[in-house]
Amino acid sequence: MTTTVTIDSGSFIFHGYLKSEFKMAGTKLKVHHYYIRNSEVPFEEDMFNEFKGHRNLAVEELPPWTQETTKEKASRRAVSRALNAMLNTGKGGKVYLGIVDSGMVRGLQLTTYQKDHVIGSLDDLMSRYKPPVKKHRYRLKFVPVVDSKCSEEEIIKQCSYDASDYCDETERMKPHIFRSHRYCWCDKDGVAQFNCGVMTQDYVIEIEILPWNSKDPRNQDSGCGSLINLHPLHEDEEGSVYFRRQASLVKYSMSEICELTRQEARESLEEEVNRLKREIIAKEEPC
């Protein structure tokens, strides 16, 4: 939901739970994108949206205790599967980390170092897919989570706050530990900061997989078929290939992948054949 409000004084008006745009008369549009804690987002998990309450991207990052399925609690799945499925449909989608299954915004507390970790961890994961996923095919965004009681000024402050201004650049160069469920140095630092009473911002991490664009020059050498340039199928870090069907994930076998690719190629070629037919007819028509 996006609400654009035009105001002519210094007082900001807030509307919408997710995104507010403020326009001072005669000034540039200022967009604040945020979520309100413990509010429910007005969309559900579907073909293009997936909610996750955690930030374990790769399978190795899942803590062992989350893999014990009990009656009350289903085991936790790595974010990777959802990303893999969104890549393999070619249609893209978004995974929201910090929003639980019911659609409730919880947020994830992150320091600047932990944000760096998430960025590095996603790049590492995408580089391990077969074939590797190029950087222009995904985007990562940290969207602040604010309390419903927050005043307009507080929301603007939180949305504009950049903790990296107060970070040690040398510390930021320190390599993070990926592909492990163990605490990284940035997590230990985060706990220490919290214990010292340092305020840390909560975020919803939005990871977006962009739809496949066969015409994009950056995709020219990574698709399938020189004529149709169909989106590639990626194996995840475990060698599995997922697809997205509505809000669920389906793991495909090799024969199913072949059939699906044939079908997609047929559909894609059909368009091209029809286009050529139209072109021929147009040329044959007397002027």
Contacts with Zn ion by CB under 5 A lie at: 117, 176, 184, 186
Q: Is the dihedral angle over the CA atoms 90, 45, 158, 163 positive or is it negative?
A: negative
Name the residue nearer to Zn ion (CB basis): 49 or 114: 114
* Rounded-to-integer distance, Cα 274 and Cα 285, Å: 16
Least distance in Å: CB of 174 to Zn ion? 8
Minimum CB separation of residue 55 from Zn ion in Å reads 11
Smallest gap from residue 27 Cβ to Zn ion (A): 39
Instruction: Tell the smallest beta-carbon distance from residue 141 to Zn ion (Å).
Output: 19
**Nearer Cβ to Zn ion (54/234):** 54
Which of residues 35 and 113 has its CB atom nearest to Zn ion in the complex? Answer: 113
Least distance in angstroms from the C-beta of 145 to Zn ion = 21
By Cβ distance, which residue is nearest to Zn ion?
A: 184
Gyration radius of the chain over CA positions: 23
Q: How far is the CB of 124 from Zn ion (least distance, A)?
A: 11
Closest CB to Zn ion among 55 and 231? 55
Alpha-carbon gap, residue 52 to 102, rounded angstroms: 10
Residue 260 DSSP label: H
Please name which of 5, 30, 40, 6 lies closest in space to residue 156, comparing C-alpha atoms: 30
For the bound state, the minimum distance from the C-beta of residue 192 to Zn ion, rounded and expressed in Å, comes to: 13
Q: Among residues 152 and 189, whose Cβ is nearest to Zn ion?
A: 189
Pick the closest to residue 54 from 36, 78, 34, 35 (CA basis). Answer: 78
Q: Which is nearer to Zn ion, 32 or 117 (CB)?
A: 117
Q: 3-class SS at 276?
A: helix
Please give the DSSP secondary-structure letter assigned to residue 217: G
Cβ distance 32 to 62 under 8 Å? no
Question: CA 205 to CA 144: how far, in whole Å?
Answer: 9
Given the complex with Zn ion, which of 85 and 184 has the nearer CB atom?
Answer: 184
Taking the complex as a whole, how short is the minimal distance between the CB of residue 117 and Zn ion, in angstroms?
3
The answer for residues whose C-beta is within 8 angstroms of residue 121's C-beta and 6 or more apart is 57, 58, 61, 176, 178
> Are the C-beta atoms of 241 and 235 separated by less than 8 Å?
yes
Complex with Zn ion: residue 37 or 176, whichever CB lies closer: 176
The per-residue b/e assignment along 154-173, b for 16 or more CB within 10 angstroms, e otherwise, is ebbebbeeebeeeeeeeeee
